[in-house]
Amino acid sequence: MKILVAVDPSEHALEAIRFVKSVDWPKESELYLIHVIEMKHASSLIPSDGPSSWDIVISEARGKLVAEAKGFLERTKKEIVAERPLAISSLVMEGLPGAEILQAVKDYQIDLVLLGTRGLSNVKRFLLGSTSDWVMREAPCSVLLVRDKLSQVTMGEKSAKIILATDGSSNALSTVQMLGLLTCKTPPKVTVTHVVGRPAYLEGWHWGTVKGAFTPLAEQLLEKAQAEGANHLEEISQRVKALGMKVDTMLPKGDPAEEIVKIAERSKATLIMVGSKGFMGGKLVPLGGVVRKIARYAPCSVWLTRPGKSGKEG
């Protein structure tokens, strides 16, 4: 397995590193640490010899940023290796973080990207950063947005409450595979949930005098969706139990993203895991609005799982 971790000195990124050190990754996994430098973070640039010395000043500033980044990555690498015997490569890039991360995903055939992100603000709304949103939308692999103290769960400092959200498709299988990576000292409690939404195409039929005629049809379709959802939850919950984890199931009705976030808030969840289609016909399927809303408003870490190009997790 190939894992890419975006690294900088921020607390959010450091939590991602702590999570990496706390997980027993598959044998022969490869870890890539990437730090993207931006010239806007350089100290104030003042040419001492007039405009002609700008090139020298910029070159020196860039060199300083690169040297600091390499030193930071080397220290981080030593910290990880001291606890996890992983093959680690350091990448220092310059440019837009989102673009450079996505390019590294492509160049090194990454299976999982870890990004440290902020939690909820005091107005109960999480503004997903442009880098996180960009990577989630366009990365062809799984993406984990690390918030709060996720590493405390895998290190056994507190028990985990995990929401495994499934849309009823086979994508849930790749989510269960990723769930199996969490070698928690205390078995986590997993709530497998599927939200039954109202068929959108029925909404328009309920206007006017024909509303009564289509109500029975709508009820039949909802009953069928509930039955199929219950069967899917049972299948997935059995797979989770096989991992030695405690399992509950929930089959709410309503808007999928809103219901999943509500469940996470009520249960004080540590992590939400949700699958996305990944590839279809060799092309990346655009990230759906439900997953983006969950990532934006979730009060905890969010793990988006995507199958590889072959339809299986790499």
Q: State the Cα–Cα distance between residues 35 and 299, nearest whole angstrom.
A: 26
134-138, 191-195, 249-253: the lowest-pLDDT one: 134-138
**DSSP string of 101-159, one letter each residue:** HHHHHHHTT-SEEEEE-----TTS-----HHHHHHHHH-SSEEEEE-TTHHHHHTTSS-
Domains of the chain with bracketed CATH: 2-305 (3.40.50.12370)
* pLDDT higher at 5 or 138: 5
pTM of the predicted model as reported, rounded to 2 decimal places = 0.81
State the DSSP H helix or E strand holding residue 4, giving kind and residue range, or none if neither: strand 2-6
Predicted local confidence at residue 122, as pLDDT: 39
Amino acid at 213: A
Predicted local confidence at residue 208, as pLDDT: 52
- Phi, psi at residue 89, to the nearest 5°? -120, 145
Predicted local confidence at residue 314, as pLDDT: 39
Mean pLDDT confidence for 190-218 = 67
Predicted local confidence at residue 124, as pLDDT: 41
Q: What's the chain's average pLDDT?
A: 80
For the ranges 77-86, 105-114, 138-147, 240-249, the maximum mean pLDDT occurs at 105-114
**DSSP string of 179-223, one letter each residue:** HTT---SSPPEEEEE--BPPPHHHHGGGSGGGHHHHHHHHHHHHH
The pLDDT confidence band at residue 312, using thresholds 50, 70 and 90, is very low
Predicted local confidence at residue 159, as pLDDT: 72
Predicted local confidence at residue 52, as pLDDT: 53
Residue 33 has pLDDT above 70, yes or no: yes
Beta strands in 8-65 (DSSP E): 30-37
Residue 110 has pLDDT above 90, yes or no: yes
* pLDDT higher at 54 or 307: 307
Buried residues in 34-73 as b, exposed as e (16+ CB within 10 A): bbbbeeeeeeeeeeeeeeeeeeeeeeebeeebeeebeebb
The pLDDT confidence band at residue 311, using thresholds 50, 70 and 90, is very low
Residue 50 has pLDDT above 60, yes or no: no
Residue 309 has pLDDT above 80, yes or no: no
Q: What is the pLDDT of residues 111-139, one digit of tens each?
A: 999 998 754 443 344 445 678 888 988 89
Contact (Cβ atoms closer than 8 angstroms) between residue 180 and residue 190: no
Predicted local confidence at residue 5, as pLDDT: 95
β-pair partners for 94: 37
